[in-house]
Amino acid sequence: MTIVESLKYTFSKYATFSGRASRREWVTWWLTWFIINLVLNALARMTANANGESVFSVISAIVGLAVLLPSLAVAARRLHDTGKSAWLLLLNLIPLVGSVILIVLCLGAAQPGPNQYGAPVVEGAISY
């Protein structure tokens, strides 16, 4: 599965919090939006006027809002794949430490076989 296919697949499950997501799906999603956010923020800083305003700041905010729900959804499905509850997403409310813990949990190994959240994800398979 290419990066574009993976992103399309994740967007096709825009607000689906049930089921499971592979580590590859989550990492591809997270890294893509992390890099896009870095680029937009760098452009915003380079093009800021005397008041610190930039059109790229607005674009960054719009993109951030657009990917908020699918980001939460893919993280919830990834936690399900590791056998954990999506309620652990609330760890993001703890500054810095919570996000680090959540990243470590999402990078964990998937539970083999079916669990309470569904059947395991088959790597490379896309079902629309």
16 close to 127: Cβ distance less than 8 angstroms: no
- Identify the bridge partners of residue 115 per DSSP, sorted by sequence position: 118
pLDDT for 124 equals 57
pLDDT for 1-60, tens place per residue?
A: 788 888 888 889 999 999 999 999 999 999 999 999 999 999 999 998 888 889 999 999
Instruction: Tell me, yes or no, whether 42 lies in a domain.
Output: yes
Mean pLDDT in the chain?
A: 91
Helix and strand numbers, DSSP H then E, in the chain: 4, 0
Instruction: Tell me, yes or no, whether 71 lies in a domain.
Output: yes
Instruction: Tell me, yes or no, whether 118 lies in a domain.
Output: no
Instruction: Tell me, yes or no, whether 22 lies in a domain.
Output: yes
Q: Specify the number of domains making up the chain.
A: 1
Share of the chain above pLDDT 90, in %: 77
pTM, 2 dp: 0.87
Give the span between the Cα atoms of 112 and 87, in whole angstroms. Answer: 21
Domain that holds residue 55: 3-106
Instruction: Tell me, yes or no, whether 111 lies in a domain.
Output: no
Instruction: Tell me, yes or no, whether 24 lies in a domain.
Output: yes
